[in-house]
Structure 1
Amino acid sequence: MKSKYVILASALLISVATFAQKDQIKSAEKALKSGDAQGAITILKDAESLVANAKEAEQAQYYFVQGNAFLDLANKKVEESKNLLAAANSYKKLIEVEKASGKQKYSTQAAESITNIKGLLINSAIADTQANKNAEGAKKLYEAYGLDKKDTINLYYAASTAVNSQDYDLALPMYEELKKINFSGKGTSYLATNKANGNDDNFANAKERDLAVKLGTHEKPKTEAVPSKRGEIYKNLALILVQKGRTEDAKQAIADARKANPEDTSLILTEANLYLETKDFEKYKQLVGEALQKDPNNADLVFNLGVISAGAKNNADAEKYYLKAIEINPNYTNAYLNLAALKLEAEKPIIDEMNKLGTSAKDMKRYDVLKAQREAVFKGVIPYLKKANELDPKNEDVSKTLIGVYSALEMTAEAKALKAKM
């Protein structure tokens, strides 16, 4: 008789606990509806230990109310990132519970809320980067990726933003994950100019873009190929590993990437850059030659070889590659710009020597020679700057540099005409 009594008492305790939990969920819902999201969370926290033994329908309702409460706090900018993630976590648990039960009451709403949370995290990350809070932005982008791992571009942006913050410990695991999933980012952009603001908007597909043009909100549709980002990814991964003293790991990472993507010529440049960083110039030259053999008429590839050569202070090779890129593509704006920048480097030692000269007859004679050399440098860059300005008239840096050159050469009319166009 005594044992039966104990069993009955236990059953009564479970029953009372269940009723108590239902009451707490209802109380939390009431608090949330009255605008007290924090109060709702506190009420639910008290019932947390009972959730595991509750019926699936009650578990789903519990997580639904909890998710809504966290989201309400986030929308009120109360620890926004923390509460967005807490809301998403509650909604995920809800979906798991209803999937196991086979009864879906809240799952559709929860899935929609997770999508909205992802968008809020991305927008918040953009605001962070605009405020130069790149580390915070990178974390939010990574969290957005965690909510939807099919949208791998957010992982790429998270890693890039972490690098911009110079937080390499934060960036490294992100790049390692990009390597693991063999992310490329290669694709197609469907663009059209927004008539309202003049900006180019990117559409998910050609159909959506063409519809916007047909409706009259956009014009000038164009389709652009988005190149592979693997070269950049492995370059950053390698540089971080080298910085941490893990040079062999860096070399292995790029070797693995090339093996998995033998047709991706950008990875040859990445490997060449690594050997340049580690001052293995023979290996660097070998890889440069290999890159050119694979794709000798790829203007981007040749241009990047110019950039790497310039970084190595090998200006003769850099000039050769920039000129080759222009030969392949006469409208390659950046090649003209880099050529001009390369030529203008010759001005600094001239100026340094001019500043050291005195007023003796010998010094004044040398000054005239140096002045002529400086003018020759300026005259030599004018064709490149003029072409860059012609190709990209909205680039103020190009216009200002060209105006500065005109002014130094006392080409007043040319400087005045260019200023009038700005």
Structure 2
Amino acid sequence: MKSKYVILASALLISLATFAQKDQIKNAEKALKGGDAQGAITILNDAENMVANAKDVEQAQFYFVKGNSYLALADKKVEESKNLSLAADSYKKLIEIEKTSGKQKYSVQAAASITDIKGKLINSAIADTQANKHVEGAKKLYDAYVLDKKDTINLYYAASTAVNSQDFDLALPMYEELKKLNYSGKGTMYTAVNKASGNDDSFANAKERDMAVKLGTHEKPKTEAIPSKRGEIYKNLALILVQKGRTEDAKKAIADARKANPDDTSLILTEANLYLETKDFDMYKKLVGEALEKDPNNADLVFNLGVISAGAKNNADAEKYYLKAIEINPNYTNAYLNLSALKLEAEKPIIDEMNKLGTSAKDMKRYDVLKAQRESVFKGVIPYLKKANELDPKNEDVSKTLLGVYSALEMTAEAKALKAKM
């Protein structure tokens, strides 16, 4: 007889616990509706231990209310990133529970909330980077990637943002994950000019863009190839590994990448840059030769060789490659820009010496020589700046630099005409 009483007592305890849990969920819902999201979370946390023994429908309701409570806190900017992630975790648990049980009550709303959270994380990350809070931005972008791992571009942006913050410990695992995924980012961009705003709008595909043009809301459709980002990814991965003293790991990472992507010429440049960083000039020259032999008329390839050479302070080679890129593609804006910047570097030592001169006859004579040299530098750079301005008239840096050159050379008419366009 005693055993029966024990069974009945146990059943009663379970029943009481179930009622208590239901009450706590209802109390949490009431607190949330009253605007006390933190209070709702406190109530639910107290009931957490009983959730595992609850019915599927009650477990789902529990995590639904909890997710909504965390999301409400995030909307109030209370530990926004943390609470967005916690909300997403709750919704994911809910979806998994309902998937297992076969009863869908909250999953559709939860999935919509996860999509909303992903958008909020990305928008918040953009705001962070604009405010130079790159670490915070990188973490939010990574959280957005974790929410939807099919959208790998968020992982790429997270890694790039972490590098911009110089937080290599944060960036390294992200780049290693990109390597594991063999991410390239290669694709096609479909754009058209919005007639109302004058801005370039992007479209998911050519059909959507062409429909917008047909409807008359957009004009000047363009289709552009998005180049592979593997070279940049492996370059940053290698540089981080080198910075951490893991040079052999860096070499292996690039060697593995080249084996997996034999036709990706950007990886040859990355490997060349690594050997340049480690001062293995013979290997560097060999790889540069290999790259040019593989694709001698690739303007992007030749331009990137110029960038690498400029980074190594080998200005003669950099100039040669930039000019070659322009020869291959006369409308290569960045080649004109980089060539201009390269040539303007010659101004700094001239200015430094001019500032040190006194007022003696000898110094004044030397000043005149230096002034002529400076003017020669400016005159030499004008054709490239003018071409860059012609190709990219909206680029304020180009316009301001060209205006500064005109002013220094007292080319008043040219400066006035350029100002009228700005």
TM-score (norm 2): 0.95
Please list every run of 5 or more consecutive structure 1 residues that lacks an aligned counterpart in the other structure: none
Tell me: CA distance 1:336–1:7, structure 2 relative to 1, closer, same or farther (3 Å): same
Partner of 2:237: 237
What pairs up with 1:254-265 in 2 under 5 angstroms? 254-265=254-265
Report % sequence identity. Answer: 89
Tell me the alpha carbon deviations over residues 210-250 of structure 1, each in whole angstroms, 9 at most, x when there is no partner. 23333333322211111111111111111111111111111
Q: CA deviation at 1:65?
A: 1.5
Partner in structure 2 of residue 393 of structure 1:
393
Opposite residue 143 of structure 1, the aligned amino acid is: D
Q: Distance in 2 between matches of 1:281 and 1:333?
A: 29
- Counterparts in 2 of 1:56 and 1:384: CA distance versus 1, 3 Å: same
Q: CA deviation at 1:39?
A: 2.3
User: Cα distance 1:22–1:252, how it changes in 2: closer, same or farther (>3 A)?
Assistant: same
Q: Does 1:303 align with 2:303?
A: yes
Quick check: 358-367 or 42-51, which moved more? Answer: 358-367
Residues 100-127 of structure 1, C-alpha deviations (whole Å, 9 max, x = no match):
1111111111111111111111111111
Map of 1:34-183 to 2, 5 A cutoff?
A: 34-183=34-183
What's the C-alpha RMSD, in Å, of the aligned pairs?
Answer: 1.7
CA-CA distance at 1:405 after TM superposition = 2.2
Write out aligned runs for 1:222-371 (5 A).
Answer: 222-358=222-358, 362-371=362-371
Q: Distance in 2 between the 1:80 and 1:358 partners?
A: 59
Shift of 1:298: 0.6
Cα distance in 1 for residues equivalent to 2:282 and 2:72: 60
Counterparts of 2:323 and 2:81, CA distance in 1: 49
Residue 179 of structure 1 deviates from its aligned partner by 0.6
Amino acid across the alignment from 1:314: N
Partner-residue secondary structure (3-state), 1:185:
coil
Matched, 1:414 2:418: no
Describe the shift of the 1:350–1:87 C-alpha distance in structure 2 as closer, same or farther (beyond 3 A).
closer
Moved more, 387-396 or 348-357: 348-357
Change (3 A) 1:369 1:111: same
Q: Alpha-carbon deviation of 1:347?
A: 2.6
Match of 1:12 in 2: 12
Give secondary structure in 2 for the equivalent of 1:54: coil
Closer/same/farther in 2, CA of residues 236 and 6 from structure 1, 3 Å limit: same
Letter in 2 for 1:380: G
* Aligned twin of 1:211: 211
Following the alignment from structure 1 to structure 2, what is the Cα–Cα distance between the partners of residues 348 and 16? 81
Letter in 2 for 1:48: E
- Cα offset, 1:290, TM superposition: 0.7
TM-score w.r.t. length of structure 1? 0.95
Shift of 1:53: 0.8
Aligned counterparts of 1:392 and 1:96: Cα–Cα separation in 2: 51
In structure 2, stretches of 5+ residues that fail to align are none
Tell me: CA distance 1:33–1:371, structure 2 relative to 1, closer, same or farther (3 Å): closer
Alignment CA distance shift 1:76-1:350 (3 Å): closer
Aligned equivalents of 1:220, 1:173: Cα separation in 2? 41
How far the C-alpha of 1:304 sits from its partner, in A, is: 0.7
Equivalent position amino acid for 2:323 in 1: L
**Structure 1 residue 346, shift from structure 2 partner:** 2.3
| Counterpart code for 1:107 | S
Q: How far 1:387 sits from its partner (Å)? A: 1.2
Give the match for residue 27 of structure 2. Answer: 27
User: Secondary structure of the equivalent of 1:224?
Assistant: strand
Which residue identity does 1:71 align to in structure 2?
L
Aligned-partner SS, 1:201: strand
Give the SS at the match of 2:270.
helix
1:263-290 deviation digits (Å, cap 9, x = unpaired): 1111111111111111111111111111
Residues 39/355 of structure 1: CA separation in 2 closer, same or farther (3 Å cut): closer
The Cα shift of 1:366 comes to 4.1
Cα deviation for residue 37 of structure 1 reads 2.1
Moved more, 31-40 or 271-280: 31-40
In structure 1, C-alpha distance between the alignment counterparts of 2:362 and 2:163, rounded to whole Å: 52
- Segment of structure 1 superposing worse, 170-179 or 376-385: 376-385
Moved more, 394-403 or 11-20: 394-403
CA distance in 2, matches of 1:377, 1:395: 22
Change (3 A) 1:352 1:48: closer
- For residues 19 and 230 of structure 1, what CA distance do their matches in structure 2 show? 56
CA distance in 2 between partners of 1:408 and 1:315 (Å): 24
User: For 1:238, what is the secondary structure of its paired residue?
Assistant: helix
